[in-house]
Copies of this chain bind each other. A is one copy, B any other.
Amino acid sequence: MYSAQFTAETSSNGIIERDFTVGEVTGALWSPASPTSESGRAPLVLMGHGGGMHAKAPAMTGRAQRLVADGGFHVATIDAPGHGGRPRTAHDEQEIAVMQKAMAAGEPVGPIVVRYNAHLAERAVPEWQATLDALQELPEIGAEGPVGYYGLTMGTAIGVPLTAVEPRITAAVFGLFWPDPLAETAKQITIPIEFALQWDDELIPREDGLALFDAFASKEKTLHANAGTHMELPRFEADSAVRFFTRHLGRPAT
């Protein structure tokens, strides 16, 4: 088992940002600068980034800041295999080339994304579990507190299989992905879910997005479908995710 090694630390606006490694995995941890509970501990939200992005991409840092400032949470991201500064395998290079060729030719990328992300999930799930083990060793997080997962697009492709095997995750925000073969795994998930879908998604057919939402076995699940294309998810959905985690992970007593 690895411990988290912190490699850099900055602080601004009441938020501490620390880069870390867990074995070969690189990531970032955002935390409240001052404890927000008597115990000094706060719940942890894991965030998975989208394809081609990385642990500190603007969408990740923006969401992390809202979760820390408005929810009082710790927020952790890691670079997916072959993403950020992490090395690519020959298989990664090959799949990325196929994807780029399809995009350039205006051909559907869905089948390639689905296949490649399923492969990445197999590598990423044990990395997330090792990261969670290491982060729960930190006194300000601890092994007892609730854990959330928040990831769209590739973050959903990795997050759904992670959540299915990881009982420490008790609430999750997913969305913007195809149902096959993810829906089979989603049927095993019973924790509260918030799910984002773009009503005019040019990549994921509407029926496919609805089918993935439908597959979750959760008694508490909410679909947020917004008018607009794949990339036009409204910013206010990030605020909605903060409230979702606050409802389900519990806002630390202040």
Among B199, B214, B221, B234, point to the contact of A223 (Cβ < 8 A). Answer: B199
B225:A220 contact, CB within 8 angstroms:
no
Closest to A240 in B: B240
**CB-nearest residue of chain B to A226:** B222
Task: State which residues 49-71 of A face B: CB under 8 Å.
Answer: none
Contact check: which of B210, B219, B239 meets A227 at CB < 8 Å? B219
Q: Please tell me if the beta carbons of A222 and B227 are within 8 angstroms of each other in the complex.
A: yes
Contact residues of A between 174 and 232, Cβ < 8 Å to B: 199, 210, 213-214, 218-227
Are B223 and A225 closer than 8 Å at their CB atoms? Answer: yes
Q: Please, which residues of chain B bring their CB within 8 A of the CB of A213?
A: 225
Contact with B along A223-249 (1 / 0, CB 8 A): 111110000001010011001000100
Q: How large is the interface on A (under 10, 10 to 19, 20 to 34, 35 or more residues)?
A: 20 to 34
| Complex copy number for this chain | 2
Instruction: Point out the residues of chain B lying under 8 angstroms from A234, CB to CB.
Output: 222
The A contact surface, by secondary structure, is mixed
Given contacts A236-B247, A247-B236, contact A224 B227 (CB under 8 A): no
Is B236 a contact partner of A226 (Cβ separation < 8 A)?
no
Which of A213, A222, A226 has the largest count of B CB atoms less than 10 A from its CB? Answer: A222
Query: How far, in angstroms, from A221 to B227 measured CA to CA in the complex?
Result: 5
**Contacts of A214 on B, CB cut-off 8 Å?**
199
**CB-CB < 8 A to A218: which residues of B?**
227
Chain A: residues with CB nearer than 8 A to chain B? 199, 210, 213-214, 218-227, 234, 236, 239-240, 243, 247
**Would you list 18 pairs from A and B whose C-beta atoms are within 8 A, ordered by A residue?**
A199-B214, A199-B221, A199-B223, A210-B210, A213-B225, A218-B227, A220-B227, A221-B226, A222-B227, A222-B234, A223-B223, A223-B224, A223-B225, A224-B224, A225-B225, A236-B243, A236-B247, A239-B243
Q: 13 more A-B contacts (CB under 8 A) besides A222-B225, A222-B234?
A: A199-B214, A199-B221, A210-B210, A219-B227, A220-B227, A222-B224, A223-B223, A223-B224, A223-B225, A224-B224, A236-B243, A236-B247, A240-B240
